[in-house]
Amino acid sequence: MIIDCHGHYTTAPKELQSYRDGQIAGLKDKSQVPSKGKINITDDQIRESLEGAQLKLQRERGTDVTIFSPRASAMAHHIGDETTSRNWTEHCNDLIYRVCNLYPKNFVAVCQLPQSPGVPPANSIAELERCVNELGFIGCNLNPDPSGGNWTAPPLTDKHWYPFYEKMVELDVPAMVHVSSSCNPNFHATGAHYINADTTAFMQFIQADLFKDFPTLRFIIPHGGGAVPYHWGRYRGLAQDMKRPLLSDMIRNNVFFDTCVYHQPGLDLLTKIIPVDNIMFGSEMVGAVRGIDPESNQYYDDTKKYIDKQSWLSDADKKKIFEGNARKVYPRINKKI
């Protein structure tokens, strides 16, 4: 079985964005009392939005099931206030729930969180519990920077985040560290802000004893770990100078990298540097990069093809990357597939 650990509902029917546009327009009119409102999307519209996109690509590429969450760039936690974020998040998660009910063999759900700048992460616990306990979700996407590029929240290792981690541990669900859109024009969302955040989160984990406090807490750092594998020597050296644990020990049970690296040499570097026990197959399709690479005549994001070519990985290694590690990191998936 091939589990793609990283997919978002980027092709949702336009009614979802219309709702969001209305919600944002309403923020300008202070006389309006914000209400959750409704989004009318039919099951047929959901089927239509997926059949020619994610489902077609699953079939063509030979992947079986995608761990599926709301569109990350649209989370935009920096817009509006806590209520804005909660209403938007509940709608987005409810839509993912419907997708997974319509296609239980193809998608397993991961939730967005109703984060907001300056609001304690503990306030996201209720939505995590609703999604996991009531809707059968298996994990969450945690935004380390709800301010959308201004980095006003404390580091992920700060006690600020601990109440939320306690709930993750209790529910035995991991979080993918995933920022959203950038409101800072210095940082292009998918080209800079995403990769910066992946790299930043990893360095934060080196600097503190988070995994001593939470030995079973698990994070997926997406997009191949940002710049981390490429600069593995720098991070090993920094950890050494700072008298921190070996990186291989630090990540062993707690930090995992996906394979959303969109060329062969990059993915080769990833699987040669990072222990196979800490790599999970992911493509993030349909996502940030949708084109065909003229050098290979293949889709950039068809990341399975790159792994298939890696002769230094044994069959057992590939089974871990494609299936075993996802079952270990997202244990709730085992009841779903």
Other C-beta atoms lying within 10 Å of the C-beta of residue 58: 23
Number of residues binding to Zn ion, judged by CB under 5 A: 2
Binding of residue 197 to Zn ion (CB under 5 A): no
Kindly tell me which of 72 and 280 has the beta carbon lying closer to Zn ion: 72
Kindly tell me which of 72 and 108 has the beta carbon lying closer to Zn ion: 72
Kindly tell me which of 239 and 267 has the beta carbon lying closer to Zn ion: 267
Instruction: Single out the segment in contact with Zn ion by CB under 5 A; choices: 9-17, 71-79, 132-140, 247-255.
Output: 71-79
Binding of residue 108 to Zn ion (CB under 5 A): no
In the complex, which residue's CB is closest to Zn ion?
72
Kindly tell me which of 182 and 317 has the beta carbon lying closer to Zn ion: 182
Whether the Cβ atoms of residue 108 and residue 174 lie closer than 8 Å to each other: no
Distance CA 184, CA 179 (A): 13
Q: Rounded to whole angstroms, what are the CA distances from 40 to 43, 46, 76, 101, 110?
A: 10, 11, 22, 17, 22
Provide, for the chain, the percentages of residues in helix, strand and coil under a 3-state DSSP scheme, each rounded to the nearest 5.
50, 10, 40
The 269-288 contact track toward Zn ion, x by CB under 5 A, reads ---------------x----
Among 72, 227, 250, 255, binds Zn ion (CB under 5 A): 72
Distance CA 148, CA 78 (A): 6
Distance CA 24, CA 113 (A): 18
The count of C-alpha atoms lying within 13 angstroms of the C-alpha of 76, restricted to the half-sphere facing its C-beta, is: 16
Beta strands 298-299 and 292-293 are antiparallel
Binding of residue 2 to Zn ion (CB under 5 A): no
Output the CA torsion sign for 303, 61, 301, 288.
Answer: negative
The question of whether 284 is a catalytic residue gets the answer: yes
> Which among 3, 91, 1, 87 is positioned nearest to 280, based on CA atoms?
3
Catalytic residue among 82, 90, 284, 323: 284
CB of 8 to Zn ion, least distance (A): 5
Instruction: Single out the segment in contact with Zn ion by CB under 5 A; choices: 40-48, 65-73, 87-95, 305-313.
Output: 65-73
CB of 112 to Zn ion, least distance (A): 11
The 211-230 contact track toward Zn ion, x by CB under 5 A, reads --------------------
Kindly tell me which of 87 and 112 has the beta carbon lying closer to Zn ion: 112
Binding of residue 3 to Zn ion (CB under 5 A): no
Whether the Cβ atoms of residue 233 and residue 273 lie closer than 8 Å to each other: no
Binding of residue 247 to Zn ion (CB under 5 A): no
Which pair of tokens denotes residue 224?
Answer: 């191949």
Instruction: Single out the segment in contact with Zn ion by CB under 5 A; choices: 57-65, 70-78, 245-253, 304-312.
Output: 70-78
Query: Which residues of the chain form contacts with Zn ion (CB under 5 A)?
Result: 72, 284
Catalytic residues: 284
